[in-house]
């Protein structure tokens, strides 16, 4: 079964140049014209990776930026550009899953070894809260960190710890909300320090968020989106 990779490019001439050179690979290219469409497609169909036309990374809203950052942490990803004189493709890896790739061939190989993944997106906004983070429920020796963005279902936390893995459990406490018990959360993705231009950290999904706290966060998100 061939790889299924999202290709995001909006300009027809650039799309034609990319596909002319990419068609030789045993890949099913799902071509979309916007980052918003890429996020939508990734949430309804599993993919092995994503390639994004470089200019599109410059023109994106804060909300889409957050979703695309999630995409590039969850899937092997890279941006594409080409030499206007000879059409030669240039690949810039994005995210730690493809950080060692220096060519299209290498990137396709990484995608082939990666199990297709379906992504689930919730409305997330860049609200920043001081947070205590630990791998122990007792929070005996927590990291003093900060939430970079948040949704009612999870958040992204600044973190450079080496003892936290994907699918591991962590406990967090938002200082501003003054909730008594720490929130259990599962680590869904990790962006390692130095692997990408994104702030290093962990994306977590809340497991036992109290209803009143979830409602409060939802109200703050709605206000931020107005």
| C-alpha to C-alpha distance for 188 and 132, rounded to whole angstroms | 18
Q: Are 154 and 188 a contacting pair, CB within 8 Å?
A: yes
For residue 91, the model assigns a pLDDT of 92
Residue 61 buriedness (CB in 10 A; 0-12 / 13-18 / 19+): exposed
| C-alpha to C-alpha distance for 148 and 199, rounded to whole angstroms | 9
Q: Are 92 and 79 a contacting pair, CB within 8 Å?
A: yes
| C-alpha to C-alpha distance for 132 and 147, rounded to whole angstroms | 10
pLDDT at residue 95 greater than cutoff 80: no
Confidence of residue 226 (pLDDT cuts 50, 70, 90): low
Among the residue ranges 51-60, 131-140, 150-159, the one predicted with the least confidence is 51-60
Return left, alpha or beta for 194; rule: phi > 0 is left, psi -120 to 50 is alpha, else beta. left
Structure pTM?
Answer: 0.63
| Cβ neighbour number for residue 178 with a 10 Å cutoff | 8
pLDDT at residue 163 greater than cutoff 70: yes
Q: Are 39 and 67 a contacting pair, CB within 8 Å?
A: yes
Mean pLDDT in residue range 166-185? 91
pLDDT at residue 39 greater than cutoff 90: no
Give the angle subtended at the CA of 52 by the CAs of 48 and 53, to the nearest 5°.
Answer: 150
Q: Are 78 and 101 a contacting pair, CB within 8 Å?
A: yes
pLDDT at residue 224 greater than cutoff 80: no
pLDDT at residue 121 greater than cutoff 80: no
Mean pLDDT in residue range 182-210? 87
Catalogue all structural domains in the chain, each as residue range(s) with its CATH number: 3-113 (3.40.50.2300), 130-224 (2.40.10.220)
pLDDT at residue 89 greater than cutoff 70: yes
Buried b (16+ CB within 10 A) or exposed e, 98-107: beebeebeeb
For residue 1, the model assigns a pLDDT of 53
Mean pLDDT in residue range 98-110? 90
Tell me the percentage of the chain whose pLDDT exceeds 90.
50
Return left, alpha or beta for 61; rule: phi > 0 is left, psi -120 to 50 is alpha, else beta. beta
Beta strands in 43-136 (DSSP E): 49-53, 77-82, 89-94, 130-134
């Amino acid at each position: 079964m061939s790889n299924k990779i999202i290709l995001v490019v909006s300009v027809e001439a650039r799309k034609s140049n990319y596909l002319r050179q990419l068609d030789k690979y045993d890949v099913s290219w799902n071509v979309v014209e916007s980052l918003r469409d890429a996020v939508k497609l990734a949430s309804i169909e599993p993919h092995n990776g994503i390639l994004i036309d470089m200019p599109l990374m410059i023109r994106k809203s804060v909300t889409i930026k957050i979703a695309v950052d999630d995409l590039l942490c969850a899937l092997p990803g890279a941006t594409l550009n080409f030499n206007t004189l000879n059409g030669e493709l240039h690949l810039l890896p994005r995210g730690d899953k493809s950080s060692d790739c220096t060519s299209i061939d290498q990137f396709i190989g990484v995608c082939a070894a990666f199990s297709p993944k379906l992504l689930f997106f919730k409305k997330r906004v860049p609200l920043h809260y001081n947070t205590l983070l630990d791998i122990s429920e007792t929070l005996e020796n927590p990291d003093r960190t900060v939430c970079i963005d948040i949704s009612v279902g999870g958040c992204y936390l600044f973190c450079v710890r080496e003892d936290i893995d994907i699918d591991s459990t962590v406990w967090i406490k938002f200082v501003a909300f003054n909730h008594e018990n720490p929130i259990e959360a599962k680590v869904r993705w990790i962006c390692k320090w130095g692997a990408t231009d994104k702030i290093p950290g962990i994306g977590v999904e809340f497991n036992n968020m109290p209803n009143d706290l979830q409602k409060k966060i939802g109200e703050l998100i709605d206000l931020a989106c107005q």
